[in-house]
Amino acid sequence: MREIHHVALSVQNLDASRRFYGQALGLKETLNTVVSGEAVERSLKLRAGTTGKVTYFQGPTQLGQIELIEWQPNAEIMTEPKRPGDPGVFLLSIEVNKKELESIWERMIKMKVPVYSPPEEFMLENYGPITAFIVEDPDGTLIELVTLPSKEQIKRFRKNTVQ
């Protein structure tokens, strides 16, 4: 097995989601396409005639992309976004450096994106300090922006905390 290629998110309004992931988060838009046809319907168990407008985004390393899909017609029953404790994926975490974290935070405030709290430092046992904040995308999906220690910092932290 190799790296995770992408995570797909169903969105209600592709244009609003493109602004969030592109302008607010600063990710690079890499592909716009449409998915449809019997093979797509079979593989995803979609109703006949369903199509999806698709946009892919990625960060600078080009590993792990986010695929946004606006389905037509939309689902008959809309569900609420997942939250901590719900089964399934409830959060996407995106690693950024300290400068990027501050810049994204400022953009979120300026664009009036729902945020949970300002960037906060957390100490993770057996790992070290991280700084993070959480926002919601236009569909309520939780997005964590996080700075992580380097491998060397993690080794030093573990060495200094071993008893």
Looking at domain 80-163, its CATH superfamily turns out to be 2,3-Dihydroxybiphenyl 1,2-Dioxygenase, domain 1 (3.10.180.10)
pLDDT score of 71: 96
Can you read off the two tokens belonging to residue 47?
């109703």
Q: Quote the Cα angle for 103-68-28, to 5°.
A: 40
List all residues 6 or more positions away from 107 whose beta carbon is below 8 Å from its beta carbon: 23, 24, 26, 113
User: Which DSSP string corresponds to 80-144?
Assistant: PPP-TTSSS--EEEEE--HHHHHHHHHHHHHTT--BSSS-EEEEETTTEEEEEEEEE-TT--EEE
**In the chain, % of residues over pLDDT 70:** 99
Model confidence pTM above 0.75: yes
Can you read off the two tokens belonging to residue 123?
């100490």
Looking at every residue in the chain, the average pLDDT score rounds to 91
Q: pLDDT of 72-87, one tens digit each?
A: 998 777 888 999 999 9
Please list, residue by residue across 53-74, b when 16 or more beta carbons sit within 10 angstroms of its beta carbon and e when fewer do: bbbbbbbeeeeebbbbbbbeee
Q: pLDDT of 92-136, one tens digit each?
A: 999 999 999 999 999 999 999 988 899 999 988 888 889 999 999
Q: pLDDT of 55-71, one tens digit each?
A: 999 988 777 899 999 99
pLDDT score of 125: 86
Fold of domain 1-78: 2,3-Dihydroxybiphenyl 1,2-Dioxygenase; domain 1 (3.10.180)
Domain 1-78 matches domain 80-163 at the CATH topology level: yes
Average pLDDT over residues 22-29: 95
